[in-house]
């Protein structure tokens, strides 16, 4: 996307480097026809990369709705936010993001919300605390070939769907993002830019269970801006 976008922009823009760069390749994104909306399920998974601000959650959902031309996402799963090495994920880490997701459910921007990589204890703590309960939890195939029995039993009791995924722990590092930026846009001060979040979306035809389209949306910020 960066390569294609940078080949189409004017050299003046590259020289000025504004604080906001909207890098889109229009033919790669397909808006959903309003007449077909009822037949489609729009789901997303949100990876928080750099910012500890829960506003990232709202920004990501708003941008996904805008890009796809819809008023609402059917489901959003949030990947566990980044935490320091040696620190276990706790309810406190998740709460600000979950509260923002709950607000988005209440304002009808999202229908259902779910989590990723929570064990039975973490999922139970979130479930008991949350106003809007998680309806799904993704389990990484790399970490277990068989679903943990205690997690399975808890999910069954509270009607939480257990799904599998094989996403790496870090989908996009700050260093690899900056490297891609430097290669694609010569002269940019890549070290000034930090990724905030990455959202992966899928548009699925409900009746046939096939993926109509999928893609990624990323937001990065210039340090100090």
CB burial string 112-129: b at 16+ within 10 A, e below: bbbbbbbbbebbbebbee
Please state the separation of Cα 146 from the chain's center in Å: 26
pLDDT digits (tens, 9 = 90+) for 181-219: 888 887 788 888 888 899 999 999 999 999 999 999 998
* Residue 14 three-state SS: helix
Do residues 201 and 44 lie in contact, with contact meaning Cβ atoms separated by under 8 Å?
yes
Domain ranges of the chain: 2-222
Whole-structure pTM value = 0.91
pLDDT digits (tens, 9 = 90+) for 56-96: 899 999 999 999 999 999 999 999 887 877 888 899 999 99
Q: Report the topology of domain 2-222.
A: TIM Barrel (3.20.20)
CA separation for the pair 116, 83 (Å, rounded): 14
**What size, in residues, is the chain?**
225
CA separation for the pair 178, 188 (Å, rounded): 10
pLDDT value, residue 47: 93
Write phi, then psi, for 103 (nearest 5 degrees).
Answer: -60, -40
In the predicted model, is pLDDT for residue 225 greater than 70?
no
């Amino acid at each position: 996307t960066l390569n294609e976008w940078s080949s189409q922009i004017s050299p003046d823009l590259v020289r000025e480097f504004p604080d906001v760069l909207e890098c889109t390749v229009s033919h790669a994104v397909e808006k959903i026809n309003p007449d077909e909306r009822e037949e489609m399920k729009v789901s997303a998974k949100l990876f928080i990369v750099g910012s500890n601000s829960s506003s990232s959650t709202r920004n990501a959902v708003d941008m996904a709705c805008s890009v796809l031309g819809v008023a609402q996402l059917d489901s959003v799963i949030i990947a566990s936010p980044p935490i320091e090495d040696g620190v276990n994920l706790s309810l406190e880490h998740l709460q600000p993001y979950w509260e923002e997701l709950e607000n988005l459910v209440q304002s009808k921007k999202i229908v259902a919300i779910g989590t990723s990589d929570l064990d039975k204890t973490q999922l139970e703590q979130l479930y008991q605390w949350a106003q809007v309960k998680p309806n799904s939890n993704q389990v990484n195939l790399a970490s277990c070939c068989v679903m943990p029995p205690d997690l399975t039993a808890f999910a069954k009791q509270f009607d939480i769907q257990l799904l599998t995924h094989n996403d790496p722990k870090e989908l996009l590092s700050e260093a690899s993002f900056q490297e891609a930026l430097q290669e694609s846009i010569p002269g940019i001060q890549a070290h000034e830019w930090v990724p905030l979040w990455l959202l992966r979306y899928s548009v699925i035809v409900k009746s046939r269970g096939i993926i109509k389209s999928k893609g990624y949306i990323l937001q990065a910020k210039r340090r100090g801006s």
